[in-house]
Amino acid sequence: MGDRPHRGEVTTVGAVDAVAGVRTGNPATDFSIALLGAFVRNGVRDFVVSPGSRSQALALVAAELERSGSARLHVRIDERSAGFLALGLARETGAPAVVITTSGTATANVHPAVLEAHEAGVPLIVVTGDRPEELRGIRSNQTTRQDGMYGAAVRWSADVDAQASGSEGSDAAELGLAAVRSAVGAETADPGPVHLNVAFREPLSVAVPPLPAAMAGSLPARAGADALGRETIAIDGGRRTVVVAGADAGPRAEEFAREGGFPLLAEVSSGARFGPNLVASYRELLHDDTFGGAVERAIVFGHPTLSREVPALLSRPDVEVIVVAPAGAQAYNPGRRARVVGGVRVGDGIDVRSPEVRGWVGRWVFASRRLAERAEQQANPSAVAPDVAKARSFEPADALAFATAELAAIRAPITRALLAETIWRYTWPHDRLVLGASRLIRDADRIVPGKKIVVHANRGLAGIDGTIATATGIALASQAEAEQAGIPSGVTRVLLGDLAVLHDAGSLLLGAGERHPHLQVVVGNDGGGTIFDGLEVAGSASAETFDRVLYTPQSVDLASLARAYGWHHSIARTKGELDQALSAPPAGVSMLEVPLTR
Ligand SMILES: Cc1ncc(C[n+]2csc(CCOP(=O)(O)OP(=O)(O)O)c2C)c(N)n1
Ligand SMILES: [Mg+2]
């Protein structure tokens, strides 16, 4: 979520609009109109519905809100897909997306997305349909203990009787506002998921009358870090300092590093991997005594998860660690010895033009560029500038040598580093890049250069689940918002491994009438989970056993899988094919398969 600003100010429940006045006489439907109307008035734009009987009133009202132009509706039969889709929508917009499910196991399928939202601080509102108290605990059909089922992962949960608060509607509206305020952290500065478990009695709904356009209001503002008791401190000079930017650190990390003249060690999904102070090859340099060994202070933004070197640095007793956490009750704190603050500013004692400051940051940046050039040459030998003299020569031998070299470059096989580097190169600011949990995100983190683009990754829990659904949500939200703003919308690409694709294959299902975003799923197919080949035990365990329980080989025909769901599929085996496929992704949804060697 980074520093994404929240839209506008608090809208109060008192501002009753036309939707809030609609009554049908059916408690379930009236409650649903009041609740969902309140969501829209308080900044919610996206509803994700999974079908079911108990939640029918909510689902029908959500459809009516879309029809009246008040909100966007997305329908998914699998609640796990629905949950991650909502997570992606919320990640991209900063506004809570609402997931609506029926009772029973449906509710548990949202749990993975709830956990990721909890750990990553993404606002999400889950509304689950349930039976009323008198039907619970007596083995009624499809009835279980849903109330409070997400435990400590939610910021707030409520068990509500739709009938008790339905006829008036004002209680439901209060509830909607309270849920949004809690999800965005309006009082707590601790955004995350919220659960409303709603008991509906029969008759479960009536036809929803056409609703007037709802008063689409703005989102409550998130509280400042002082709500968490965290102050903003001044950082002074005199200590050799680096800035570390982990997942979702946001552009503030880059700005602060630049203002203070600090080297910026920014992970690929930090939202801060750009600018003059960027040290892309930070891992190698952290191993080096004259760089990593010389660090005396680290200022951390976001949630670093991609390297072993950063936690090692932060647990060194000779390194002072300051963690900047303007939001989130739980702060990153390796070794529990960090000073956690709400913000930092550059103190008066720092002169960024002084030779010491410029020398320190300059050495890091220079060394990083040297390493990056070398890595790039290894990843992509053909990136070495073509021999232009030969191209211009009239000697047939020169022309042939040039053509042969160029052809070899186009036909070069694809490595992980080349794949990561190429996808990065084709991503522009109006595009979105989503990185799955795989060897590939780590390779990308090792090599890609600075670029100001929007990158998302579910690093809250780094699950391989829900990656396609999350990327779909990001694509739908970014493209809808661009369209609304009248600016060209780009493409969303997701780079992930084969097991992650198979884990979330169900999210390839876009039902009839559902929006197809411009989304390219890029699969690095190495036949299983090769990330585990990096484990120490890979060298000592029996190869057969290791493969069976960790690598978990698969040979699914991804082309058939994609086509079964109506997705375009293509394969890139060489650098030339990869360039072609990434530079012009087909309209709508497509899968690009890139075979990789183990
Ligand atoms: C839901 C979930 N289950 C299990 C894991 C453990 N895990 C991490 S990476 C991985 C395998 C990834 O394989 P693949 O997607 O093919 O990527 P590769 O590393 O091969 O590039 C697994 C099972 C996880 N992160 N999330
Ligand atoms: Mg794999």
**pLDDT higher than threshold 60 for residue 11:** no
- Given the CA of residue 416, which atom of ligand 1 is nearest to it? 21
Q: What is the mean pLDDT of residues 246-270?
A: 98
Q: Which residues pair with 49 in a beta bridge?
A: 75, 100
The DSSP secondary-structure symbol of 531 reads G
Q: Which of the two residues, 473 and 409, has the higher pLDDT score?
A: 473
Q: Look at 37-51, 349-363, 368-382 and tell me which has the smallest mean pLDDT.
A: 368-382
Q: What is the mean pLDDT of residues 216-222?
A: 94
Residue in 464, 526, 556, 594 to alter for ligand 1 test, most ligand atoms within 8 A of Cβ: 464
What is the Å distance from ligand 1's center to 534 Cα?
Answer: 13
* Average pLDDT taken over every residue of the chain: 94
Strands (E), 259-362: 264-266, 297-301, 320-324, 339-341, 343-346
- pTM assigned to the model: 0.95
Nearest bound ligand to the CA of residue 440: 1
Nearest to 50 by CA among 113, 114, 110: 110
pLDDT for res 17: 67
Nearest bound ligand to the CA of residue 416: 1
DSSP readout, 147-180?
TTTTGGGSSEEEEEEHHHHHTT-HHHHHHHHHHH
Q: What is the mean pLDDT of residues 81-108?
A: 98
Q: On the CB side of 304, how many CA atoms lie within 13 Å of its CA?
A: 27
What is the Å distance from ligand 1's center to 524 Cα?
Answer: 12
**pLDDT higher than threshold 80 for residue 178:** yes
What is the Å distance from ligand 2's center to 332 Cα?
Answer: 29
Q: Which of the two residues, 216 and 71, has the higher pLDDT score?
A: 71
Nearest to 274 by CA among 253, 298, 296: 253
How far apart CA 496 and CA 502 sit, in angstroms, is 11
Residue nearest to atom 7 of ligand 1 (CA): 464
pLDDT for res 168: 55
290: tokens are 């004259």
- Return the percentage of the chain with pLDDT > 90, whole number: 86
pLDDT for res 169: 66
- Given the CA of residue 112, which atom of ligand 1 is nearest to it? 1
Residue in 115, 423, 494, 499 to alter for ligand 1 test, most ligand atoms within 8 A of Cβ: 499
What is the Å distance from ligand 2's center to 526 Cα?
Answer: 5
pLDDT in tens, 182-196: 999 999 999 999 999
Q: What is the mean pLDDT of residues 164-169?
A: 63
pLDDT for res 40: 97
**pLDDT higher than threshold 70 for residue 108:** yes
130: tokens are 């349930």
Protein residues with CB under 6 Å of any ligand 1 atom: 437-440, 462-465, 496-500, 524, 526, 529-531
Nearest bound ligand to the CA of residue 112: 1
- Given the CA of residue 530, which atom of ligand 1 is nearest to it? 20
What is the Å distance from ligand 1's center to 463 Cα?
Answer: 7
